Structure 1
Amino acid sequence: MHPIITTESRPEAMADVPGICELPLTRAVVHYRDAHELYRTGGRIQDIGMAVVVEGRFASAVRAIDLGSAEVKYLNLASELVILDWVYEPTLAHIRALAGPGREAAVTAPGPSDELRRYCFDLALRVLDRRGFSHLTRPTLLRIGFRDLCKDLDLHESTVVRIVTGRGEVTRVHLDYDANALVFHSAGPSIGRKVEVAIREIFPGLSVQRSATAVSGASPAWEVRFGVPVTFAELRASLLAMRRGLNHLFARFEPERFRSVEGLMATFGERATLDRFALGGEVPETGTGSASESDGTTAPGFEQITPMSVH
């Protein structure tokens, strides 16, 4: 055994290891996990967790542009990174041209242009359409769908829905994109009993349990598991069930705010980015299950949404 007294870079250190191939990630379209996000649980509302790598020669980290916000991300390769596809060199060159010189200095840059954001998001839609529905694209599709829901119900900087559930008590709801589970947590010492009861009533037949992964600095959380969708139709059905359920929570705890949101939805309609995908599996048009249409606490038609298979 020979002691190593000098620090080698990753390519040099692994160059003589059989079976190891160092592949530059430049031009890769990747799905990055929440371990790469420096923001609160759920991520930022502008991001979709899918990025194109614009500089990936080094072994420690890569520089990428999120295809939702068109903002620069530095992804640590020590964490999990999923490669979904690759873009052609002219596509990458066009992104760099739209980003303009000096975008490396992301802190001082004024921000991505609307043209760059539109191009990046269109690129994301094309890649997802080409890759189709699979276990690799499922978290990104769920995030895009839940992002629409958050923008409709509670637009702010995070992909989280906030509901005032009591005096001085705000319950935050985010989606676990890998488990397809709504996670409820409060800034207070715990979620009130009335909130727990409401969650169980509004999501009947689904698994409601304490979350195994607590949010840092927050009280114990509850999660509603919808099961892992194995088809695009099941994924859309679960998002529809989430929208109905959260509508009913708003109607119960914040009726005035719910009426305001309901009026906006009646006028402008709901965001439906997933309608732009040709992945098959249409979801029946059953309406949004508005809480004002029912005297009970359970969303109309919700009982038809059954738990999906869990792998």
Structure 2
Amino acid sequence: MSDALLAAYDAVLFDLDGTVYHGTRVIPGAPETVRAAREHGTPVRFVTNNASKAPDEVVAHLTDLGMPAEVGEVHTSAQAGVVLLKERLEAGAEVLVVGTESLAAEVAQAGLKPVRENGDDVRAVVQGHSPDNTWAALAEACLAIRAGALWVACNVDATLPSERGLLPGNGSMVAALRTATDVEPLVAGKPEPLLFETAARSAGAERPLVVGDRLDTDIAGAVAAGIDSLVVLSGVATPKQLIEAGPAERGTYLAADLTALTSNPEDLRIGPRPGWSVKAEDGVLSVTGEGDDLDLLRALCHTAWETGVTELGERAKAKLS
């Protein structure tokens, strides 16, 4: 285990949806991989943009899926959102909550007053994912924001992975309010670095590793925080997105799923790979050689990022289809 990727870092910061589980379905091998990290003595933290559940609810869900955890190991965008509110509001200020009761409870625990309707005393709006968010809730928030209330979005994920596929995420609801108000929210969760920085500090980590499935949140947040990352293909990220990724969304390693944490880091690193030759010729990435398809993707990403050429030749297309 000393030559495993998880051993090269002093903490592992896991995304949840699409990385550890899809709704009620665990990613195969996730419990064993988390257990391997713990047995090696590498602290683990669960860092999620989903603001719909309180940390103790996340712990219960992880435990049900075979990954017992402690509340202090869970860091949610709801917590990050409330940190931003508390920094900017006086104690007892009214905050209009668009989200779950657990989000409202986080607001109350911070010494602020959660409300569900707009009024003259509303100082801020905090918006997090909830399957029960309604047009009426958005309408109340719209009125408050247009009247000048501070607007904090716990996250702006457009979609939410589930066992049934991708569903509308908090970012889709945020987009509706952005259109209705012409205002940009203050974003608390990933890709802002706050969640990862807080999680790393709680683990006493100086060299943590982020594991996530979304380039625009998990990986961008890791880049913003100056943290190495493992991109997994068990959730949202696609080969096309990886090849076309800009500097702010480029991971360090690439794997099919989080079980790669027990593999050698040099086998996972995005870069030139044995068996494959990738060249940018006439605006196309041409491929020769044979080997593992994921190694090909690692090599394609490297050349695309080096040259700016992202169009795939016919062989590359066939191998990645």
Q: Give the TM-score normalised by the residue count of structure 2.
A: 0.31
Which structure's residues are more often helix, by fraction? 2
Choose between structure 1 and 2 for higher RCO, CA contacts under 8 A separated by at least 6 residues. 2
